[in-house]
Structure 1
Amino acid sequence: MKFLRNLLASILGFFIALFLIFVFFFIIAAIAGDGDKVVVKENSVLELDLSTPIKDYAPKEDNPIAEALELTEEKLALNKIINAIENAKTDTKIKGISIKTTFVNAGIAQTQAIRNKLEEFKESGKFVYAYNDVYSQKNYYLSSVADSLFLNPVGAIDFKGLSTEILYFKDFEDKYGIKMEVIRHGKYKSAVEPFLENQMSEANREQTTSFLKSIWSEIIEDVSKSRNISIEELNIIADNSNGRNAETALKSNLIDASIYEDEYKEKLASVTNDKFKTISLEDYIKSGKGRVSSTSKDKIAVIYAQGDIMYGEGSEDYIGQGIINKAIIKAKEDNNVKAIVLRVNSPGGSALASELIWRELELAKQEKPLVVSMGNLAASGGYYIACNADKIIAEPTTITGSIGVFGAIPNFSQFAGNIGINAEQVHTNNSATYSVFEPMNQKFYDITKEGVEQIYTTFVNRVSTGRNMTFEQVNEVAQGRVWTGKEAIEKGLVDQLGSLEDAIKVAAELAEIETYKVRNFPNYKTDLKDALQLSPFGKASKEEILKEAMGDENYQLYYNINRMKNLKGIQARMPFTFQIK
């Protein structure tokens, strides 16, 4: 009897303790929530630090305990950055903007969108200044929008033109007997080329040169207008690295003055009438300036599709047909939603998942206007899910197209033989089977090739119908080739150039509404259990730990190989191994 009483007391004590722990966590969450309230002070300067990873969409964590304990990933949302700059235009407490960031942790199209918004901000009559010790090329591109741009006397500007480097593994495969068996359609489908060749093909060199030149032309045209330097002179500056120190940068007119940080603060003081306060972009967003308010009942739904496309539920980091299709259906069935904007930032991925998302969008399009806005990437599967929209709007530096498919399977047969491993199979039927320990047989290749060709034909037909082009016209610009947004307009793959804001305005025009509020989708939920799975290194993710240990270049090699290893099914994916520098 005593044992039973003690057991019941222990069980009761456990549940009381559990309850108190949760109460404690919720109190901490509430206190943290109160502490997050930010008040914008008079005579403030909005300071832009964009070194935190920037995503098109980064919804606030819906788990208050995880948020309070800072178990969530640090990130900035592009839509909130744009809204914050828009609000700062008319905010009487904000006197100007100071761009002061160690580097810009965003894609080129995202960077251009922020830069264009800063151009609009300047039209309000408020100032934009920029200062840095060292400017990376992307950072300089953004900062060149400033009225006045300053550099530390011992600093430098990395202004040298664009380049990319692709690693090829064919010789490695031959040497060690570990390779990828590849079946593809599209002469430009260079996502798998590094596993088939030991050097770049002429077709791949052609497309890479083309889109690098297209992106570079956008960058120097913008810098030319802001700095009043001719495009020809900017190319000479890049060729001769004339931003390599403060002296040459000043002579080349890349900067307005070479000063120290304390002198920069003095300049801010003079332009704001002496006593000023700085408010960080993150705090300004927390104050409520990361959204544009509206009292209208009408809504434009913006559905964010960001990351690789993978068959399954999906998450904030990758696109799955589960979460995205639920968001599409919810927007379609909401009577207050008058139009849908699909924001795509994806290199593609699973052809099956892309088709399932395409189908749900096709059903939604029959009821409401559908507009696509393209971010950094909208290629292969990313273009697949975009092609049936009423209007497609891309940034000039968006990388899109890549209409092609492939299948890739690892094979260890040669490696196994080299180390003395022999695999024997037993079958009940003579079906097309595959083993990583045996060379690919012709029957399996033929059946897989048939599947690749079927999906390619379906892909081209989807584009043909969506873009009102013939199969032959699409096939001509397909073959897996990638284009920038500027090039894609000429090829008929995109309707116009513009930002997400522009796409929302077009959607409103198609829906014939003048006032509206923007409703963002999808909603992501993070389980507390997942959030509490901390590494022994604190909040650092596995990727951050590996980067720190291996270095960026070695990590990129690991990432590319690991990414190919995990591909399942036939892929509609762009050559995402490009790292533009």
Structure 2
Amino acid sequence: MRSFLKIFFATLLAFIVLFLLVFVFLVGYIGRTLSKKEEVVISPNSILVLETNQSFNELKVIDPLNSILRSGPREVPGLYDVVRLIRKAETDDNIKGIYLKAENNANGFASSEEVRNALQHFKQSGKFIYAYGEVMDQKSYYIASLANKIYLHPKGGMEFSGFYTQLTFLKGALEKLEIQPQIFYDGRFKSATEPLRETQMTVANKIQTNAYLGDLYRNFLQHIGESRKIDTATLHKYADEGMIQEAADAVTYKLADGLRYNDQVMDELKSKLGLKGDDKVNFVTLPRYYSAYSPRYADSDNRIALIYAEGNITGGDSEDASTISSGHYLKLIREARQDKDVKAIVFRVNSPGGSALASETIWRELVLAKKSKPVIVSMGDYAASGGYYISCMADSIFAQPNTLTGSIGVFAILPNLQGFFRNKLGVTFDGVKTAKYADLGTASRPLTEVEKKFIQNSVDSIYSTFKGRVAEGRKLSGPVVDSIAQGRVWSGIQAQQLGLVDRVGGIDDAIACAVRMAKISGYRLREYPETEDPVKTLLRRYSDDSRASAIKNELGEYYKIYEQLRQVKEMKGEAQARLPYILDIR
């Protein structure tokens, strides 16, 4: 027996050592593989391909598995990378034009505006843009509308029906489950909690939604009208009377230039490039072009820090690129602030908000940075509530006309699950405490009137602080801020008119402003945060994706309700400066 145990443990130890050696080898191999930059040469007479259904995050995304297996692009460029790639293509003699594959558009309105503006600049260089889609949705058509030629599949279609947004209200479901959300908020437009306390949109919410949705739609019609030389009243009529039902209708009413099958479009592109017969068009995807391109800046010691802040604002020190954790961003901003070579900071905000406390922490570090160098904010699809909190102190704020911002308000949710547990599950709770309010915030009982006052007072205090930060940063009076706060969401156009935003523009405009304010001629861009460790990305992403995919497959169209409930769970007990509900504009 003793001999058996010796052999067993020796074998086990050998297995463990072998496993560790293999693991170290694999990590090293993956690291070397990911660090190798593929050498890509762009051939003459090439066409750059841009697919509207590709989602562009603020930061580039590395796909370690694709890199190892060579099964797809190693890197998907970020939004500003895409803008720079299009600008690079303007002067690249090897790139003759751009081919837009316009199907569904996976990006937000302001992100689409960034891409569209870059394409407009490209078109002005004299190079061509061709757009083709089997079925174009409205956001993809918005980008495609500036193309020299727009073609649709003969049996396909194009959506052109106006914008709408629909909310899901959970109050009735919560009542059936005997769950009391116990909501506290400031701002009559602060409608983040409406789905939990109402069965339909309040009058105030309809007012604000009609206003910003109207602005987004007017911007949509205006730019399409300019590109297609059709007045906006006529475009509105097309949508309002349902005149675009089939692909042929889009051609009839001059929204598209023709009906083509894919092979016919390819033949036309060949002709454009002077190719014949079986010659193949050399298409270059954005990820491949990105591999061949390195941004070039002046030979200078001056740096402009570009800090990307994307996702929900949370406490903690997470380095997850999809969230803005206060601890992590405090370090990033402080690093840029204390770096003497960094002459200005451009803070790129694409966030619907989140934790009020975390927003205050980030705001404080940006205020300190502003004392030593210019701080410019560039707003993405959203810079609302907490997203506006961390923006309001900037020397100058840029937003797109279709950015959603403002939402200066605060709320808190403390659910009471006593009835649900007792009457639905047969679960009860009991305990002891050493002080009257020791168990304040527990979900196992309702709040008392005194406890409700405690929480409302806290929400009131945070709201007052939030408005004070805005008044100080935007140099507005208290009464003015109070009138434009109240939790109301504004479009970028409205925000500029109200003084919440300084200028309409994109990331390039914000960087140019930073250079002017820093009074420097040449500069190099330093981007934060650094790309996440590839091995960590591999482990986290595929774990997250598989879990999310399983839930989506199970819930189908009800997945959005699950997401809404999950957000409520995450917000429990902490004051939130967050955009109302999940906005889904179509």
The aligned length equals 575
1:418 corresponds in structure 2 to 423
CA-to-aligned-CA distance 1:434-455 (integer Å, 9 cap, x gap):
3322222111111001100000
1:39 corresponds in structure 2 to 41
Q: 1:369 aligns with which of 336, 359, 374?
A: 374
C-alpha distance in 1 between matches for 2:567 and 2:263: 46
Q: 1:498 aligns with which of 494, 500, 505?
A: 505
1:400 corresponds in structure 2 to 405
Deviation of residue 350 (structure 1)? 0.4
CA-to-aligned-CA distance 1:94-122 (integer Å, 9 cap, x gap):
00000014322111100011001000001
Deviation of residue 241 (structure 1)? 2.8
TM-score, normalized by length of structure 2?
0.93
1:263 corresponds in structure 2 to 264
- Bigger Cα displacement from structure 2, 522-531 vs 370-379: 522-531
**Which amino acid counterpart does residue 388 of structure 1 have in structure 2?**
M
Q: 1:347 aligns with which of 344, 349, 352?
A: 352
Deviation of residue 417 (structure 1)? 3.9
C-alpha distance in 2 between matches for 1:313 and 1:527: 19
Determine helix, strand or coil for the equivalent of 2:312. coil
Deviation of residue 80 (structure 1)? 0.9
Kindly indicate whether residue 483 of structure 2 is the aligned counterpart of residue 481 of structure 1.
no
Kindly indicate whether residue 68 of structure 2 is the aligned counterpart of residue 68 of structure 1.
yes
Determine helix, strand or coil for the equivalent of 1:319. strand
Deviation of residue 341 (structure 1)? 0.6
Instruction: Work out whether residues 179 and 417 of structure 2, in 8 Å CA contact, stay in contact via their aligned partners in 1.
Output: yes
Deviation of residue 424 (structure 1)? 3.1
- Mind listing any 5+ residue stretches in structure 2 that lack a counterpart? none
C-alpha distance in 1 between matches for 2:248 and 2:143: 21
Instruction: Work out whether residues 26 and 65 of structure 1, in 8 Å CA contact, stay in contact via their aligned partners in 2.
Output: no
C-alpha distance in 2 between matches for 1:171 and 1:17: 54
Determine helix, strand or coil for the equivalent of 1:566. helix
C-alpha distance in 1 between matches for 2:132 and 2:300: 40
1:570 corresponds in structure 2 to 575
- Bigger Cα displacement from structure 2, 318-327 vs 396-405: 318-327
Q: Is the alpha carbon distance of 1:448 and 1:567 closer, same or farther for their aligned partners in structure 2, counting shifts above 3 Å?
A: same
C-alpha distance in 1 between matches for 2:248 and 2:537: 51
Instruction: Work out whether residues 401 and 482 of structure 1, in 8 Å CA contact, stay in contact via their aligned partners in 2.
Output: yes
Determine helix, strand or coil for the equivalent of 2:565. helix
1:317 corresponds in structure 2 to 322
Instruction: Work out whether residues 62 and 74 of structure 2, in 8 Å CA contact, stay in contact via their aligned partners in 1.
Output: no
Determine helix, strand or coil for the equivalent of 1:515. coil
C-alpha distance in 2 between matches for 1:269 and 1:340: 45
Kindly indicate whether residue 65 of structure 2 is the aligned counterpart of residue 52 of structure 1.
no
**Which amino acid counterpart does residue 104 of structure 2 have in structure 1?**
F
Deviation of residue 28 (structure 1)? 5.8
Q: Is the alpha carbon distance of 1:16 and 1:278 closer, same or farther for their aligned partners in structure 2, counting shifts above 3 Å?
A: same
CA-to-aligned-CA distance 1:250-285 (integer Å, 9 cap, x gap):
111010011111000011111111153101111111
Q: Is the alpha carbon distance of 1:173 and 1:28 closer, same or farther for their aligned partners in structure 2, counting shifts above 3 Å?
A: closer
Determine helix, strand or coil for the equivalent of 1:578. coil
**Which amino acid counterpart does residue 363 of structure 1 have in structure 2?**
L
Instruction: Work out whether residues 170 and 199 of structure 2, in 8 Å CA contact, stay in contact via their aligned partners in 1.
Output: yes
Kindly indicate whether residue 447 of structure 2 is the aligned counterpart of residue 440 of structure 1.
yes
Deviation of residue 456 (structure 1)? 0.4
Instruction: Work out whether residues 195 and 581 of structure 2, in 8 Å CA contact, stay in contact via their aligned partners in 1.
Output: no
Q: Output the aligned Cα RMSD.
A: 2.5
Q: 2:554 aligns with which of 536, 549, 552?
A: 549
Instruction: Work out whether residues 344 and 386 of structure 1, in 8 Å CA contact, stay in contact via their aligned partners in 2.
Output: yes
C-alpha distance in 2 between matches for 1:533 and 1:301: 28
C-alpha distance in 2 between matches for 1:528 and 1:72: 16
1:250 corresponds in structure 2 to 251
- Bigger Cα displacement from structure 2, 542-551 vs 136-145: 542-551
1:560 corresponds in structure 2 to 564
1:269-348 mapped onto 2 (5 Å cutoff): 269-274=270-275, 275=279, 276-289=281-294, 291-314=295-318, 315-348=320-353
**Which amino acid counterpart does residue 453 of structure 2 have in structure 1?**
D
Q: Is the alpha carbon distance of 1:231 and 1:390 closer, same or farther for their aligned partners in structure 2, counting shifts above 3 Å?
A: same
Q: 2:459 aligns with which of 430, 449, 452?
A: 452
Instruction: Work out whether residues 411 and 577 of structure 2, in 8 Å CA contact, stay in contact via their aligned partners in 1.
Output: yes
Instruction: Work out whether residues 67 and 74 of structure 2, in 8 Å CA contact, stay in contact via their aligned partners in 1.
Output: no
**Which amino acid counterpart does residue 83 of structure 1 have in structure 2?**
R
1:472 corresponds in structure 2 to 479
Kindly indicate whether residue 522 of structure 2 is the aligned counterpart of residue 515 of structure 1.
yes
C-alpha distance in 2 between matches for 1:30 and 1:436: 50
Instruction: Work out whether residues 347 and 576 of structure 1, in 8 Å CA contact, stay in contact via their aligned partners in 2.
Output: no
**Which amino acid counterpart does residue 515 of structure 1 have in structure 2?**
G
Deviation of residue 457 (structure 1)? 0.5
Deviation of residue 37 (structure 1)? 2.9
CA-to-aligned-CA distance 1:357-400 (integer Å, 9 cap, x gap):
00000001000100000000000000001000000111110000
Instruction: Work out whether residues 187 and 203 of structure 1, in 8 Å CA contact, stay in contact via their aligned partners in 2.
Output: yes
Q: Is the alpha carbon distance of 1:66 and 1:93 closer, same or farther for their aligned partners in structure 2, counting shifts above 3 Å?
A: closer
Deviation of residue 181 (structure 1)? 1.2
Determine helix, strand or coil for the equivalent of 2:191. coil
Deviation of residue 334 (structure 1)? 1.3
Instruction: Work out whether residues 464 and 471 of structure 1, in 8 Å CA contact, stay in contact via their aligned partners in 2.
Output: yes
C-alpha distance in 2 between matches for 1:94 and 1:384: 42
C-alpha distance in 2 between matches for 1:541 and 1:74: 20
State the percentage of identical aligned residues: 36
**Which amino acid counterpart does residue 561 of structure 1 have in structure 2?**
L
Instruction: Work out whether residues 87 and 122 of structure 2, in 8 Å CA contact, stay in contact via their aligned partners in 1.
Output: yes
- Bigger Cα displacement from structure 2, 542-551 vs 352-361: 542-551
1:107-256 mapped onto 2 (5 Å cutoff): 107-256=108-257
C-alpha distance in 2 between matches for 1:570 and 1:21: 44
- Bigger Cα displacement from structure 2, 495-504 vs 421-430: 421-430
C-alpha distance in 2 between matches for 1:344 and 1:438: 39
**Which amino acid counterpart does residue 53 of structure 2 have in structure 1?**
S
Q: 1:580 aligns with which of 574, 579, 585?
A: 585
Q: Is the alpha carbon distance of 1:167 and 1:28 closer, same or farther for their aligned partners in structure 2, counting shifts above 3 Å?
A: closer
Q: Is the alpha carbon distance of 1:72 and 1:385 closer, same or farther for their aligned partners in structure 2, counting shifts above 3 Å?
A: farther
**Which amino acid counterpart does residue 519 of structure 2 have in structure 1?**
E
C-alpha distance in 1 between matches for 2:52 and 2:120: 17
C-alpha distance in 2 between matches for 1:283 and 1:556: 34
**Which amino acid counterpart does residue 118 of structure 1 have in structure 2?**
L
C-alpha distance in 2 between matches for 1:534 and 1:106: 20
Instruction: Work out whether residues 52 and 140 of structure 2, in 8 Å CA contact, stay in contact via their aligned partners in 1.
Output: no
- Bigger Cα displacement from structure 2, 2-11 vs 478-487: 2-11
C-alpha distance in 2 between matches for 1:302 and 1:156: 40
Deviation of residue 9 (structure 1)? 8.2
Instruction: Work out whether residues 308 and 528 of structure 2, in 8 Å CA contact, stay in contact via their aligned partners in 1.
Output: yes
Deviation of residue 550 (structure 1)? 2.3
Instruction: Work out whether residues 53 and 76 of structure 1, in 8 Å CA contact, stay in contact via their aligned partners in 2.
Output: no
CA-to-aligned-CA distance 1:199-257 (integer Å, 9 cap, x gap):
11000000000000000111111100111111011001111233321221111101001
Deviation of residue 71 (structure 1)? 12
**Which amino acid counterpart does residue 280 of structure 1 have in structure 2?**
T
C-alpha distance in 2 between matches for 1:65 and 1:166: 37
Instruction: Work out whether residues 300 and 517 of structure 1, in 8 Å CA contact, stay in contact via their aligned partners in 2.
Output: yes
